Amino acid sequence: MDNTLIARSITAFFVALVASTLATPLVIRLATKYHLVDDPKKRKHPAHTHTGIIPRAGGLALFLGIILPILFLLPLAPLIRGIFLSSILLVVTGLCDDYRDVNPFIRLSVNALATMIVIASGVTIPFITNPFSGGVVHLTTWIIHLGPIDVSVWSNLAAFIWIMWTLNIIGWSSGVDGQMPGFVAISALVIGFLSFRYSFTDPSQSIVTLLAFIVAGSFLGFLPWNFYPQKIMPGYGGKTLAGFFLGILAILSYAKLGTALLVLGIPMIDALYTLLRRISSKKSPVRADRGHLHHKLLALGWGRRKIALFYWGVSAILGAIALTVKSQHKVFALLLVTVIIGGFILWVNFFSQFSKPQDQDSG
């Protein structure tokens, strides 16, 4: 067992945790001073569940919790520089949105630019494992030569779609205090443990392992400030950072898409259900509403703490499954999880129409 990598991973995790924990109260004061706050009376949003004035700008605290350990513990290779630049773009856009709502198309354009930057730095999907045969489907069959640069079209396109998907939909499961940081930390830890396995045969995986533990530590350090009753919200920057890092970690590690889809079962299926529901109702697929699973659970009488713990618990269980089953079995596990969670969402959606809040923190 690589004791050196274990020690470095533990160090990376706790440095990120401490950095995020200490940075968050400073960001709270900064957000309050410069009016980076969310006031439901002035800033009405159909998806919000909180009351009172709450500082936003949590993305800045999470960014500091991730970037500071990276600068001290990881080599500044082109990949890390690309991640650093993309993260800055996402956080700055998030801070602007925290101050005043940014046009959704501008936010989407920035997300696309950040995604293209990390793809240019080397984050691509060269192949996809065939879960039925155990073989692989190569995505490097179409190469375009642009001077000295060779561009693998299918590899880059697959990476672009995947990162944009995670970057935009992970934040949809952040409407309840502590909900998102918890399952993001668990997901990053699962990817980190899986990446650690492959570090024995591929030394380059050590960087991915350290990055995964850094992300987990940062979000876990932010969690006490965001758990009920929350002192700060992740804000748009925090949401996009969560999806951004989980997306690229799933690609960089040998986890690929299967593990990420499994461990992120609830937010992924909730997002898919939400898109289908909005499209079938002839509404914009990106128009916010109160139809997400956590909204339905609130209507059913669940409290915010209970909902957050539910998301964490399911993510931990699915993460344990992802770490124990083989690649060939993940597709069947994913199908089973889709049926179970999808059925649960439909059940909650039906019964929430006849229920009233019961828990004191359910709103």
Identity of the amino acid at 30: L
For helices 179-198 and 256-263, the axis angle rounded to 10 degrees is 150
Predicted local distance difference test score (pLDDT) of residue 70: 94
What sections of 76-204 are H helices per DSSP? 78-99, 104-120, 153-169, 179-198
Structure-block tokens of residue 343 = 């059925």
CB atoms within 10 A of CB 322: 25
Domain extent listing, the chain: 3-255
**Positive/negative CA dihedral, 61, 66, 67, 73:** positive
Distance CA 331, CA 337 (A): 10
Q: Can you give the pLDDT of all 363 residues of the chain as single tens digits?
A: 567 889 999 999 999 999 999 999 999 999 999 999 988 777 666 556 666 789 999 999 999 999 999 999 998 899 999 999 999 999 999 999 999 889 989 999 999 999 999 999 999 998 887 766 667 788 888 899 887 888 899 999 999 999 999 998 898 888 899 999 999 999 999 999 988 887 777 777 899 999 999 999 999 999 999 999 999 999 999 999 999 999 999 999 865 677 888 889 899 999 998 888 888 888 877 777 788 889 889 888 899 999 999 999 999 999 998 888 876 677 778 888 888 888 888 888 777 666 555 565 655
Identity of the amino acid at 247: G
